[in-house]
Amino acid sequence: MKEIIVVTGNKRKVRQAQDAMEPFGITVTGESVHVDEIQTPGTDVHGVAVARRKAQDAFAALTRPLIVCDQHWEIPALGGFPGAYMKDMDRLLKPDDVLAMLEGKDRTIHLYENVVYTDGNITKDFTAVYNGTMAAEPRGVDGDWSGKLIIYEGTDMTIAEHRDRGEHARDMGQSAWKLFGEWYADQEQE
């Protein structure tokens, strides 16, 4: 059985990776490693540079093959904001703050999910895009403003409402995790 480490302190990301890798026979373990998160507004295409840097810094600490996942949100009506500032936005803003910024504007949002693998020699990116809209009011309990407001295409529930039910908010069969699993399952393991 193949194995891979996902570097994150987020138990939900570990579970997402485990669920997505299971069909490929890949065992996932989580490991938390502190890495500085670079901010590259304007030069980072959909968050790939942030995720690549996190993977490379985590490999420097662990010196073992690993993956990281970083999410990059873009709200077109706000010029692509928050982009690389998602963590700060979640920390600083409440759902009503975000709704006030979007008042009278298009509520479309895009999530770029970037899974990056590195073994010190090869660094490979896997990206999935999810489209959604903002709810008119916060719904659900489990999550920050983003979880309580964002509704992915194909559902009528917010991310938080899915989490409150113990569900993944998006289709893991279409995820960047799955793209990685398809590729990694075909790689020779040392």
**pLDDT for the residue 100:** 95
pLDDT at residue 130 greater than cutoff 60: yes
pLDDT digits (tens, 9 = 90+) for 35-46: 876 666 555 567
Q: Look at residue 129 and tell me if it is in a domain.
A: yes
pTM of the model as a whole: 0.88
> What percent of the chain is predicted at pLDDT more than 70?
94
What is the domain count for the chain? 1
Is the N-terminal amide bond of 82 cis, ω within 30° of 0? yes
Q: Is residue 190 in some structural domain?
A: no
Structure tokens belonging to residue 18: 């485990």
pLDDT over threshold 90, residue 160: yes
Whole-number mean pLDDT of the chain?
A: 89
Q: Pick from 170, 174, 173, 146: which is nearest to 160 by CA?
A: 146
Determine contact, residues 108/131, Cβ cutoff 8 Å. yes
CATH number assigned to the domain comprising residue 146: 3.90.950.10
Q: Which domain holds residue 167?
A: 2-185
